[in-house]
């Protein structure tokens, strides 16, 4: 399966397939002077050998493994990888391959974006969530003051998504990535939303998952083509992320995964949308499905002030208002500004409802 992204910066292809990691060399242009494969401790154990074997025809192929987890998206690890790249003699005709989830994609992508003013890189996503992070060209590392504060728009040359690698994904990570698929359905398409919730995650099979991933990627690709730098409609993809990011930061990345926090954020966005626009959205349906699939909500009244502070610190704040994506209806996202007091009230009624 192929999705083309007609990026203004650089067009690229996304290939999805069962087992395509073994064929990586078929998709590489032959001229790379050297290749640096970057992965994390979990993924490298499982899949780095497969990729390395596929690259046997190349003279200089190196592997760098960083610790699994969000902590690796740091300035320190970024600097270490640059040092490695220099020591290994990578030049402007070298290639970086990011093998892993969103952490590796963002980190290795940012190394590629900045090493010698930018060299080619390929995304080889291995999490469901990475269907989102590997497409769209956003690459970043974290600052102590906040997530993704250091970064760039730097599209990959290719995304090679081997859906077979998802078989080893822990349940928590399946929940995480699936929340982003639900987000895409909410901003795009009611029927598809119904379909995504038609089965429990435990019964998800690879064929339907591949179809869902492709559809999610297509939705994102079509948005990026219109607004790559997030000046307008790309912001719609932040549905659920205002509260999501705040929750993720408050609880620490280890407690709640990105997508689990986004799932709560999606419910909150629906809650606010219903009140602001006097409409009905399938909030109950989503909330029930999330509960049945063991998503954790982790919200309490005592957290409100801190969550509001964190939301204010988010990039999306203009003056005193918090910018949030709402739904005028299913498939009709809008950018909405809301003052802090109102946000606080909504958060209080929301927490009372879900706990």
Binding residues for ligand NAD, rule: CB under 6 A, are 40, 42-43, 46, 68-70, 73, 100-104, 106, 126-127, 129-130, 132-133, 136, 138, 147-148, 165-166, 168-169, 173, 176, 257-258
Residue 51 labeled ligand binder: no
* CA atoms within 13 Å, Cβ hemisphere of 33: 9
* C-beta closer to ligand NAD: residue 169 or 351: 169
Q: Minimum distance from CB of 162 to ligand NAD (Å)?
A: 9
| CB-closest chain residue to ligand NAD | 102
Contacts (Cβ under 8 Å, ≥6 apart) of 132:
102, 177, 180, 184, 216, 220, 237
| Residue 180 is labelled as binding a ligand | yes
Residues in Cβ contact with 158 at an 8 Å cutoff, skipping those fewer than 6 apart? 12, 13, 14, 15, 27, 122, 123
Q: How far is the CB of 352 from ligand NAD (least distance, A)?
A: 30
171 is in an annotated binding site: no
Would you call 124 exposed, middle or buried from its count of C-beta atoms within 10 A (0-12, 13-18, 19+)? buried
Q: Is 166 annotated as a binding residue?
A: yes
Q: Is 167 assigned a ligand-binding role in the annotation? A: yes
Determine whether the annotation assigns residue 126 to a binding site: yes
Say if residue 62 is exposed, middle or buried (CB neighbours under 10 Å; 0-12, 13-18, 19+).
middle
Centroid of chain to Cα 329:
24
Cβ nearer to ligand NAD, comparing 102 with 265: 102
| Residue 239, SS3 per DSSP | coil
Q: Are 295 and 342 in contact (CB under 8 A)?
A: no
CB atoms within 10 A of CB 64: 18
Q: Would you say 34 or 133 has its CB closer to ligand NAD?
A: 133
Rounded to whole angstroms, the Cα distance separating 189 from 184 reads 8
CA-CA distances (angstroms) from residue 40 to 214, 241, 355? 25, 25, 36
CB of residue 3 vs ligand NAD: minimum separation in angstroms? Answer: 15
Q: Which is nearer to ligand NAD, 34 or 42 (CB)?
A: 42
* 183 appears as a binding residue in the annotation: no
Q: How far is the CB of 99 from ligand NAD (least distance, A)?
A: 9
Least Cβ distance, residue 254 to ligand NAD (angstroms): 10
Number of H helices, E strands in the chain: 13, 12
- Beta carbons within 10 angstroms of residue 274's beta carbon: 15
Minimum distance between the CB of residue 173 and ligand NAD, rounded to whole angstroms?
5
Residue 138 marked in a binding site: yes
Question: Least distance (Å) from ligand NAD to the CB of residue 29?
Answer: 24
Closer by beta carbon to ligand NAD, 258 or else 283: 258
- C-beta separation of 79 from 114 below 8 A: no
Q: Which residue, 93 or 206, is less far from ligand NAD as judged by CB?
A: 206
Least distance from C-beta 67 to ligand NAD, angstroms? 9
168 is in an annotated binding site: yes
The count of C-alpha atoms lying within 13 angstroms of the C-alpha of 32, restricted to the half-sphere facing its C-beta, is 25
Closer residue to ligand NAD (CB): 126 or 242: 126
Contact 344, 301 (CB under 8 A): no
Q: Is 106 annotated as a binding residue?
A: yes
Nearer to ligand NAD, 32 or 40 (CB): 40
Annotated binding site for NAD(+): 102-106, 126-127, 138, 147, 165-168
Question: Which residue ranges make up the annotated binding site?
Answer: 102-106, 126-127, 138, 147, 165-168, 180, 241, 258
- Write out the binding residues for Zn(2+): 180, 241, 258
């Amino acid at each position: 399966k192929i999705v083309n992204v007609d990026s203004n910066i650089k067009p690229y292809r996304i290939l999805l397939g069962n087992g395509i990691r073994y064929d990586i060399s078929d998709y590489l242009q032959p001229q790379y002077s050297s290749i640096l494969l970057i992965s994390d401790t979990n993924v490298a154990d499982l899949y780095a050998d497969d990729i390395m074997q596929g690259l046997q025809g190349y003279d200089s192929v190196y592997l760098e493994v960083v610790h699994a987890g969000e902590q690796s998206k740091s300035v320190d690890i970024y600097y270490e990888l640059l040092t490695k790249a220099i020591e290994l003699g990578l030049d402007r005709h070298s290639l970086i391959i990011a093998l892993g989830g969103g952490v590796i994609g963002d980190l290795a992508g940012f190394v590629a974006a900045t090493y010698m003013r930018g060299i080619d890189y390929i995304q080889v996503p291995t999490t469901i969530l990475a269907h989102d992070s590997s497409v769209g060209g956003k690459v970043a590392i974290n600052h102590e003051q906040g997530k993704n504060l250091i970064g760039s728009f730097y599209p990959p040359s290719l995304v090679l998504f081997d859906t077979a690698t998802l078989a080893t994904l822990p349940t928590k990570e399946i929940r995480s990535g699936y929340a982003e698929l639900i987000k895409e359905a909410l901003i795009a398409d009611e029927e598809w939303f119904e379909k995504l919730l038609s089965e429990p995650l435990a019964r998800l099979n690879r064929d339907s998952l591949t179809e869902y991933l492709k559809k999610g990627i297509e939705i994102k690709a079509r948005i990026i083509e219109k607004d790559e730098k997030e000046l307008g409609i790309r912001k719609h993809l932040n549905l659920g992320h205002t509260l999501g990011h705040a929750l993720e930061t408050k609880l620490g990345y280890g407690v709640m995964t990105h997508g689990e926090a986004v799932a709560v954020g999606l419910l909150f966005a629906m809650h606010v949308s219903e009140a602001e626009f006097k409409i009905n959205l399938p909030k109950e349906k989503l909330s029930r499905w999330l509960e049945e699939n063991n998503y954790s909500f982790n919200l309490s009244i005592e957290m409100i002030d801190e969550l509001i502070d964190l939301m204010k610190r988010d990039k999306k704040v203009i003056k005193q208002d918090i910018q949030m994506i709402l739904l005028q209806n299913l498939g009709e996202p809008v950018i909405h500004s809301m003052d802090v007091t109102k946000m606080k009230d909504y958060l209080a009624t929301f927490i009372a409802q879900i706990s």
